[in-house]
């Protein structure tokens, strides 16, 4: 038997709660919860903007291994001349300063020296002795023709004359080696090559000595310089003769100097456990100065290939790299990519794009901002 439900025993407040619940359910059905709109995954480039951008294509490139080393600019020691005093004395006529450019043969100073006075005296004596022995030889030859001198007398006179000639030649050579300026007991210091005075250890009226061991000047042409870089033991196998090298300096940000590894010191420095490598660079305009610090990136190609894009095409955001791919209708889409390595202006990637994809390679960050706005 079905029992009848007696409404008299129902609490009136229950009807109120039930009605409120039904209203809430119907309202929820009519107004679903709103969710935030995700960022757009595509963006159409306006024609005016597209004309200002650079585009490139994803392509396959030979993989390049690269390491970055610290180094410094140094003189090319093959084009450096240190000038030492040939004689002791007092120097005058010093008229060049550190950093001046001098030409080969230019006067750098004059040394007045007792040694040079002795060499000058030897020259005068040799010239006088030559004249005396020449007259004696002529006289003996005349006497021999007259039968008043023997053949032995003529031979002896000839030997004396030959010795005097030899002594005169020696005296002139000594003066020439020491750079004599006439017979005034002084020697002229001349620049042996054209270049910059990169070291100077002499002043006017300074007394100099040959046993001091200090050079007067150092001259370097600086038309090319050496880059000396340090290679740690873990990277020794990554550096080879002839590898390409890109050099940057603090003085010229954004400017890249290019050269090749031309010498490897196949021993480690016992103090700091590094191996030295040398790169020779041309130095037009003398931009690179000795003792400048340099960052040296040495790279060499491998037998492997990988997809690559210009480094300017990458955008880094939220610990992820992106490139912006453009289709034929100027629509741009973001593609996440996995970066293998960046060498110079190229970045190697392993996934995220395909060969032949057209990518934005300039102002990529601007377009990326539009896609995320």
- My answer on whether 179 and 58 are in the same domain is no
Q: What integer pLDDT is reported at residue 28 of this predicted model?
A: 46
* pLDDT the model gives residue 183: 57
Question: Total domain count for the chain?
Answer: 4
Residues 202 and 103 in one domain: yes
DSSP element (H, E) containing 49: helix 47-50
Predicted confidence at residue 293, as pLDDT, reads: 94
Q: Could you tell me if 205 and 336 lie in one domain?
A: no
In a shared domain, residues 288 and 311: no
92 with 189, same domain? yes
Euclidean distance between CA atoms 292 and 15, whole angstroms: 89
pTM (two decimals): 0.57
CATH no. for residue 126? 1.10.287.470
Q: Based on the domain organization, do 101 and 214 belong to the same domain? A: yes
Grade residue 41 by pLDDT with cuts at 50, 70 and 90.
low
Determine the Cα–Cα distance for residues 338 and 261; give it in Å rounded to an integer: 31
- 27 falls within a domain: no
Tens digits of residue pLDDT in 212-231: 888 999 999 888 899 999 99
Asked if residue 158 is part of any domain, the answer here is yes
Please answer whether residues 275 and 237 qualify as being in contact, where contact means their C-beta atoms are separated by less than 8 angstroms.
no
- Please indicate, yes or no, if residue 22 is contained in any of the structural domains: no
Q: Please say which residue of 175, 204, 221 terminates a domain.
A: 221
DSSP per residue, 343-364: ETTEEEEEESS-TT-EEE-SSH
Domain that holds residue 105: 81-113+185-221
Question: Is 152 contained in some domain?
Answer: yes
Nearest to 244 by CA among 63, 65, 61: 65
Question: What average pLDDT score do residues 319-328 get?
Answer: 89
Do residues 344 and 61 make contact, with C-beta atoms less than 8 angstroms apart?
Answer: no
Q: Mark whether 87 and 205 lie in a shared domain.
A: yes
CATH code, domain carrying 265 = 2.40.30.170
């Amino acid at each position: 038997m079905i029992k009848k439900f007696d409404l008299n025993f129902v609490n009136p407040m229950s009807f109120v709660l039930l009605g409120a619940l039904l209203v809430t359910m119907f309202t929820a059905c009519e107004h679903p919860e709103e969710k935030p709109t995700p960022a757009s995954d595509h963006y159409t480039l306006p024609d005016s903007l597209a004309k200002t951008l650079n585009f490139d294509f994803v392509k396959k490139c030979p993989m390049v291994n690269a390491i970055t080393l610290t180094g410094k600019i140094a003189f090319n020691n093959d084009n450096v001349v240190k000038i030492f005093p040939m004689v002791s004395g007092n120097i005058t006529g010093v008229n060049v300063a550190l950093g001046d450019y001098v030409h080969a043969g230019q006067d750098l100073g004059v040394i007045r020296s007792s040694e040079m006075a002795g060499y000058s005296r030897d020259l005068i004596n040799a010239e006088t002795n030559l004249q005396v022995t020449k007259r004696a030889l002529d006289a003996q030859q005349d006497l021999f023709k007259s039968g008043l001198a023997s053949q032995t007398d003529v031979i002896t006179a000839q030997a004396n004359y030959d010795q005097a000639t030899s002594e005169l030649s020696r005296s002139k050579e000594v003066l020439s080696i020491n750079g004599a300026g006439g017979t005034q007991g002084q020697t002229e210091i001349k620049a042996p090559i054209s270049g910059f005075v990169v070291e100077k250890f002499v002043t006017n009226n300074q007394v100099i000595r040959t046993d001091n061991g200090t050079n007067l000047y150092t001259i370097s042409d600086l038309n090319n310089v050496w880059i000396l870089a340090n290679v740690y033991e873990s990277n020794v196998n990554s550096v080879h003769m002839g590898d390409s090298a890109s050099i940057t300096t603090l003085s010229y940000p954004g400017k890249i100097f290019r050269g090749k590894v031309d010498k490897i010191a196949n021993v480690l420095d016992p103090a700091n456990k590094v191996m030295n490598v040398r790169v020779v660079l041309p130095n037009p305009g003398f931009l690179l100065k000795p003792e400048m610090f340099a960052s040296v990136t040495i790279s060499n190609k491998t037998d492997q290939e990988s997809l690559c894009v210009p480094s300017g095409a990458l955008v880094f955001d939220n610990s992820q790299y992106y490139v912006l791919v453009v289709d034929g209708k100027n629509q741009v889409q973001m593609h996440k990519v996995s970066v293998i390595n960046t060498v110079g202006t190229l970045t190697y990637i392993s996934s995220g794009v395909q060969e032949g994809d057209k990518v934005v390679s300039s102002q990529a960050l601007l377009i990326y901002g539009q896609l995320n706005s």
